[in-house]
Amino acid sequence: MGAAYVSYRHGREFALRFGADETTATLWPLIVDGLLTMATIELWKVGLSFPRNRGGMDCKEFHV
Domain ranges of the chain: 2-51
pLDDT band at 23 (very low <50, low <70, confident <90, very high): very high
* Mean pLDDT score across all residues of the chain: 85
pLDDT at 49: 75
- The answer to whether residues 28 and 15 touch, using CB atoms and an 8 Å cutoff, is yes
Predicted TM-score (pTM) of this structure: 0.61
Residue of 29 and 52 predicted with greater confidence? 29
User: Using CA atoms, how far apart are residues 55 and 24, in angstroms rounded to an integer?
Assistant: 48
